[in-house]
């Protein structure tokens, strides 16, 4: 829509809410502090849970953001995660080797990324349909091939980082996590560095903002998009592997449950930057952790309402409460060099 067509009263309200992002963070920080002082164990548990819940979200957001920064919308993150989760699970069942299983998961995600790139860049299909195809394919294939009763050989265990793990609260929360969680934290910074400080990142961003400018200086727009989407796919694959190999330990039909879409909201809320996505993912993870806590803490609110929370939050974020953000200018548009 060209302009936000809002009446004066509504737009003034929206403006006020938009400035509230900082307020939100402060409110949460204060809340956490109070909670810690009243009950340290539960606070630690909730924070740990928040980090765990945020991991697939931030990985999914990194996947989405690599694609979008180069101009390709990826709404197939859900399908990529699901398929990778399934393949990783199968690899675990048949080889018993967790490292191979994780690798299989990552490769699956990358392969689906290649498919998306093929559909969007080479076939010039509508990118949203392409993502939808991946989602439907993943759901169909995983449901078709999944049989009950397969046994797995355990899952990835937390690794304690020596003395750091003994620190109160942050020790348990930050420094005794399983490998994929650590990997995701490292990835955030790696992607941030590459995107904003290297030659490759400059070209990627140029392709996403103004592919014509990149094309006319000799950059291969198609290849840049392919590579970004495939690497992003690999990261989404890691998220899928996380679900079955680190978090849950087994597979369930449609277990991603919308996380791939929530990851898109995380990406948007984080203004298409890795660090922003991390913050947003933590926020969403925190909301989920809180939801679980309330659910088992015996709240009188029907659990379905609490279950709606992440989805509701996503919509709120998309509606721009907390600041309107601007995606890369050429995202979603077909680049036709005449």
Partner 1 sequence: MDISIVVLQANGITKRFPGVLANDHVDLILHRGEILALLGENGAGKSTLMNMLYGLYHPDQGEIWIKSELVRLRSPHDAIARGIGMVHQHFQLVPVMTVAENVMLGAEISGFGGRLNHRAAEQRVRNLSQQFGLEVDPTAVIEDLPVGMQQRVEIIKALYRNAEILILDEPTAVLTPQESDELFRIMRELAQQGVSIIFITHKLREVLEVADRISVLRRGAVVGTTTPAESTREALARMMVGRDVILQIDKGKARPQEVVLRVENLAVEDDRRQLAVKNVSFEVNGGQIVGIAGVQGNGQSELAEALTGLRRYTAGHVTLLGETMNAISPRRMVNMGAVHIPEDRHKHGLVLGYPVVDNMILTDYYRAPFSRGFLLDRASIQAYAERLVRQYDVRTPSIFVLASQLSGGNQQKLIVARELARKPKVIIANQPTRGLDVGSIEFIHRQIVAARDGGTGILLISAELDEIISLSDTILVMYRGQLVASVPAAEATREGLGLLMAGVHADAIERA
Partner 2 sequence: MTEQSSSAAPSTIVNLLRRAWRSISVPVASVILALVIGGIILWLSRADPLAAYAALFRGSLGNIDAIGRTLEKATPLILGGLAVAFAFKAQLFNIGGQGQLLLGAIVAAAVGFGIKGLPFIIHMPLALLAGSLAGALYGAIPGALKTYTGAHEVITTIMLNYIAINITDYLADGPWKDTVGIEARTPPILETAIIPKWGPIPIGFFIAAAMSLAIWFLLYRTTTGYEIRTVGLNQHAARYGGVKVARTVILTMVISGLLAGMGGAIETQGVVGRYQPGFNVGLGFDGITIALLARTHPLGVIPAALLIGAMQAGSSRMQFDAHVAAQIIDVVQALILFFVSADIIVRWIIRVRAEEGEKVTLSTGWGQG
Residues in the site for partner 1, rule: CB under 8 A?
197-200, 202-203, 205-206, 209-210, 212-219, 329, 337-338
Q: Smallest distance from the beta carbon of 151 to partner 1, in angstroms?
A: 44
Residue closer to partner 2 by CB (options 249, 320) is: 320
Residue closer to partner 1 by CB (options 15, 166) is: 15
Residues lying near partner 2 in the complex (CB under 8 A): 1-2, 4-6, 10, 14, 73, 75, 119, 123-130, 132-133, 135-137, 139-141, 143-145, 258, 261, 264-265, 268, 302, 304-305, 307-308, 311-312, 314-315, 318-320, 324, 327, 331-334
Q: Smallest distance from the beta carbon of 23 to partner 1, in angstroms?
A: 24
Q: Smallest distance from the beta carbon of 208 to partner 1, in angstroms?
A: 9
| CA separation for the pair 186, 335 (Å, rounded) | 33
Burial of 30 (0-12, 13-18, 19+ CB in 10 A): exposed
Cα distances (angstroms) measured from residue 305 to each of 67, 97, 265, 293, 319: 33, 40, 20, 14, 20
Look at residue 292 and give the partner it binds from partner 2, partner 1, none, a contact being a CB closer than 5 to 8 Å depending on partner kind: none
CA 309 to chain centre: 17
Best CA proximity match to 243, nearest among 115, 138, 118:
138
Residue closer to partner 1 by CB (options 37, 217) is: 217
Q: Smallest distance from the beta carbon of 213 to partner 1, in angstroms?
A: 4
Residue closer to partner 2 by CB (options 171, 212) is: 212
E strand or H helix that includes residue 287: helix 274-296
Look at residue 162 and give the partner it binds from partner 2, partner 1, none, a contact being a CB closer than 5 to 8 Å depending on partner kind: none
Best CA proximity match to 108, nearest among 75, 79, 147, 151:
79
Contacts by 193-196, CB closer than 8 A, 24 or more apart: 195/66, 195/69, 195/273, 195/274
Q: Smallest distance from the beta carbon of 246 to partner 2, in angstroms?
A: 24
Residue closer to partner 1 by CB (options 149, 218) is: 218
Best CA proximity match to 80, nearest among 125, 123, 115:
115
Residue closer to partner 1 by CB (options 149, 337) is: 337
Phi-psi region of 298 (alpha: psi -120 to 50; beta: other; left: phi over 0): left
Residues facing residue 159 across a β-bridge: 177
Q: Smallest distance from the beta carbon of 126 to partner 1, in angstroms?
A: 15
């Amino acid at each position: 829509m060209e302009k936000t067509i809002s009446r004066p009263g509504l737009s003034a309200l929206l403006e006020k809410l938009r400035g509230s992002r900082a307020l939100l963070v402060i409110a949460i920080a204060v809340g956490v502090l109070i909670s810690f002082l009243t009950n340290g164990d539960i606070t630690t548990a909730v924070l740990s849970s928040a980090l765990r819940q945020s991991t697939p979200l931030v990985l999914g957001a990194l996947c989405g953001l690599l694609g979008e920064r180069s101009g390709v919308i990826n709404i197939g993150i859900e399908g990529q995660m699901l398929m990778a989760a399934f393949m990783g699970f199968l690899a675990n069942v048949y080889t018993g080797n967790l490292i191979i299983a994780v690798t299989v998961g990552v490769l699956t995600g990358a392969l689906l990324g290649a498919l998306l790139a093929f559909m969007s860049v080479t076939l010039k299909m509508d990118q949203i349909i392409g993502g939808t195809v991946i989602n439907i394919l993943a759901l169909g294939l995983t449901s078709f091939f999944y049989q009950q009763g397969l046994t797995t050989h355990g899952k990835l265990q937390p690794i304690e980082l020596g003395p750091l793990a003994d620190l109160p609260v942050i020790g348990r929360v930050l420094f005794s996590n399983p490998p994929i969680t650590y990997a995701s934290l490292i990835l955030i910074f790696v992607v941030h560095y590459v995107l904003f400080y290297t030659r490759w990142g400059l070209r990627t961003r140029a392709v996403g903002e103004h592919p014509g400018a990149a094309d006319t200086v000799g950059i291969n727009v198609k290849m840049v998009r392919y590579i970004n989407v495939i690497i992003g796919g690999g990261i989404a694959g890691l998220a899928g592997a996380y679900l079955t190999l680190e978090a849950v330990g087994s597979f369930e039909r449609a277990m991603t449950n919308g996380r791939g879409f929530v990851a898109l909201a995380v990406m948007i809320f984080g203004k298409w930057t890795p660090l922003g996505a991390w913050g947003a993912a933590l926020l969403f993870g925190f909301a989920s952790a809180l939801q679980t806590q309330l659910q088992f803490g015996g709240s009188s609110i029907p659990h379905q309402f609490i279950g709606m929370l992440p989805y509701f939050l996503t919509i709120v974020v998309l509606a721009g409460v907390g600041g309107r953000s601007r995606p890369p200018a050429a995202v979603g548009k077909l680049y036709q060099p005449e």
